[in-house]
């Protein structure tokens, strides 16, 4: 018998209309046995996410400001859902406890987690299936990091006692029973942990988009949908900002080899995107194009650099001393370039350059600000000739100068550095070269 774990994002549970869609989806396949909900998201563009309102409640209490008005927005939101679904549920019982806890100094993690907690209770009631509190099965250690071994053991034991159940996403508890949350979007992680713990056949992640697109639709007009993508490709594209899935959610299911299916709650007939461990068919040369802006490149040149022991270590020591991490570090015989996000670099460029000059005695250090990185990703690239040439020709024809080139040993990613001003034009040029 197959087992499917389904996770529904905040947009999929924003109101009673979406709750009804979720119920139809779950009841449409008897293999969908375990459901992981997020807190209600936005119903319209200027709406508030419930989690944001809960954080605001916590901030009010910390600043000794009454939270009544904000909490009423939360209460009304949930009451509307329960009323419109005609549920026989004493919602005030839970709301009163939560409000009292927040007013009495509950932690930010506890406060934020109550959105998923309440949605989980409501959804379990609506589906008429069991409710399992995530604090009892998702465990963190005293340092706030996930205790995977204990979590898997608890989940496996608990789920074996429930044929079907709702487990709220985003939070768990530490060894003292205190609520601990994942980072925002962490319900994806909860769903992956549930799937991995029972070795599910499939992990479905339902959201408001029909999977991954080959490029950002805000940049490329009507980009093609990605039908199948590997975990490795997902990692590369997610890192460059092209993710509809919490980055950490990949790892629990990747280890177990469980496929992930990104589906659209509003278009359940769409097959979405399937994320798999390995892909044997390579119908397309590339899988996707993604990128990020606002980088600075430090180009360091020194004759006979390749024969000087510890040169790159000295460069990285300077960055470490100033608390600056780097994104990429392509090198040649006599040159090495360090790519740094402007958000990390801040106003430290001048002092870092001077320290590199003192520590490394280079022939030159050239600073290239206002840079963008574009990644062209695809497992099919390793089996196709002339991919890099097509990328470079496309950029040349678009009159775009390439400042940096890097290709990983996996051969599934070609990275180019260009000017910020050419970013969108560059994305379009590369996309069109392969489509």
User: Which of 220, 252, 276 is where one domain is finished?
Assistant: 276
Residue 155 falls within a domain, yes or no?
Answer: yes
- What pLDDT, on the 0 to 100 scale, is given for residue 247? 63
Domain membership flag for residue 141: yes
Whats the size of the chain, residue-wise? 435
What pLDDT sits at residue 282?
Answer: 61
Check which CATH number belongs to the domain holding 380 and give it: 3.30.2130.10
256 falls within a domain: yes
For the four alpha carbons of 239, 245, 248 and 254, in that order, the dihedral sign comes to negative
Q: Is the pLDDT of residue 22 over 70?
A: yes
Q: Are residues 249 and 386 in the same domain?
A: no
| Domain co-membership, 398 together with 426 | yes
Q: Would you tell me how many other CB atoms lie within 10 Å of the CB of residue 105?
A: 10
Q: How confident is the model at residue 48 (pLDDT cuts 50, 70, 90)?
A: very high
Domain boundary (276, 304, 337) is at 276
| Contact between residue 141 and residue 147 where contact means Cβ atoms under 8 Å apart | yes
| pLDDT for the residue numbered 409 | 60
Say if residue 405's pLDDT is above 90.
no
Shared domain check, 213 and 75: yes
Instruction: Confirm whether 138 is domain-assigned.
Output: yes
Would residue 30 count as lying in a domain?
yes
Q: Is residue 283 part of a domain?
A: no
pLDDT of residue 55: 97
Let me know whether 375 and 250 are in one domain: no
Tokens of 17: 């209309």
Share of residues in the chain with pLDDT > 90 (%): 77
Strands laid side by side in the 130-131 sheet: 130-131, 165-166, 32-37, 4-8, 202-207, 260-264, 273-276, 228-230
Residues 215 and 352 in one domain: no
Same domain, 235 and 354: no
Find the domain containing 318 and state its range: 288-433
Contacts of 179 (CB under 8 A, 6+ apart): 107, 109, 110, 113, 135, 171, 172, 173
Tell me: do 153 and 53 sit in the same domain. yes
Is 196 within 8 Å of 249 (Cβ atoms)?
no
Is 12 inside a domain boundary?
yes
- Chain segment 246-296, per-residue pLDDT in tens: 667 778 888 888 999 999 999 999 999 999 987 656 667 889 999 999 999
CATH number for the domain spanning 73: value is 3.40.1160.10
Q: Are residues 316 and 240 in the same domain?
A: no
Using the 3D structure, point to which of 248, 276, 304 is the last residue of a domain.
276
My answer on whether 106 and 81 are in the same domain is: yes
pLDDT band at 8 (very low <50, low <70, confident <90, very high): very high
How many CB atoms neighbour CB 421 within 10 A?
12
pLDDT on residue 241: 75
Cβ proximity of 8 and 38 under 8 Å: yes
Same-domain pairing of 158 and 103: yes
135: tokens are 């604090």
Least confident of 65-79, 181-195, 241-255, 343-357: 241-255
74 and 157 co-located in one domain: yes
Q: What is the pLDDT of residue 281?
A: 64
Could you tell me if 152 and 294 lie in one domain? no
The answer as to whether 217 is a domain residue is: yes
Q: Which residues contact 58 (CB under 8 A, 6 or more apart)?
A: 102, 106, 107, 108, 111, 112
Total structural domains within the chain? 2
Whether residue 319 contacts residue 325, with contact meaning beta carbons closer than 8 Å, is answered with: yes
Average of per-residue pLDDT values in the chain: 92
Distance CA 434, CA 420 (A): 22
Ramachandran category for residue 357: left, alpha or beta (phi over 0 → left; psi -120 to 50 → alpha): alpha
């Amino acid at each position: 018998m197959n087992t499917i774990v389904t996770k529904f994002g905040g947009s999929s549970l924003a109101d009673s209309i979406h709750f009804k869609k979720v119920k139809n989806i779950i009841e449409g396949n008897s293999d969908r046995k375990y459901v992981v909900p997020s807190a209600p998201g936005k119903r319209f563009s200027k709406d508030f996410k419930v989690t944001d309102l809960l954080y605001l409640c916590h901030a009010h209490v910390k600043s000794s400001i009454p939270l009544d008005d904000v909490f009423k927005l939360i209460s009304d939101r949930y009451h509307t859902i329960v009323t419109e679904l005609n549920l026989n549920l004493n919602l005030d019982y839970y709301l009163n406890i939560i409000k009292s806890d927040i007013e009495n100094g509950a932690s930010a993690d506890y406060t934020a987690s109550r959105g998923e907690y309440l949605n989980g209770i409501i959804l379990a009631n609506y589906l008429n299936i069991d409710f399992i509190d995530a604090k009892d099965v998702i465990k963190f250690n005293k340092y706030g990091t996930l205790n995977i071994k204990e979590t898997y053991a608890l989940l496996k034991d608990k789920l074996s006692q429930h044929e079907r159940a709702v487990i709220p996403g985003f939070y768990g508890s530490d060894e003292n029973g205190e609520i601990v949350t994942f980072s925002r979007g962490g319900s994806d992680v909860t769903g992956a942990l549930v799937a991995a713990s029972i070795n599910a056949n499939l992990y479905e992640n339902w959201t408001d988009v029909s999977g991954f697109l080959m490029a950002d639709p805000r940049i490329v007009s009507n980009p093609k949908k990605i039908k199948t993508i590997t975990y490795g490709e997902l990692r590369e594209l997610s890192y460059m900002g092209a993710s509809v899935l919490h980055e950490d959610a990949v790892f629990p299911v990747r280890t177990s080899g469980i496929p992930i299916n990104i589906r659209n709650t509003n278009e359940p007939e769409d097959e979405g995107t399937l994320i798999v461990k390995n892909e044997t068919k390579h119908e397309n040369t590339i899988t996707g194009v993604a990128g990020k802006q606002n980088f600075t490149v430090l180009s360091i040149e020194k004759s006979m650099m390749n024969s000087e022991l510890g040169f790159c270590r000295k460069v990285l020591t300077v960055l470490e001393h100033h608390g600056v991490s780097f994104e990429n570090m392509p090198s040649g015989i006599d040159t090495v370039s360090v790519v740094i996000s402007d958000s990390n670099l801040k106003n430290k460029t001048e002092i870092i350059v001077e320290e590199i000059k003192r520590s490394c005695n280079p022939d030159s250090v050239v600073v290239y600000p206002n840079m963008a990185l574009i990644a062209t990703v695809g497992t099919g690239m390793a089996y196709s000739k002339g991919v890099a040439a097509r990328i470079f020709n496309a950029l040349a024809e678009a009159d775009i100068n390439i400042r940096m080139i890097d290709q990983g040993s996996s051969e599934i990613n070609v990275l180019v550095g260009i000017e910020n001003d050419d970013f969108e034009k560059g994305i379009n040029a590369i996309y069109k070269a392969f489509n």
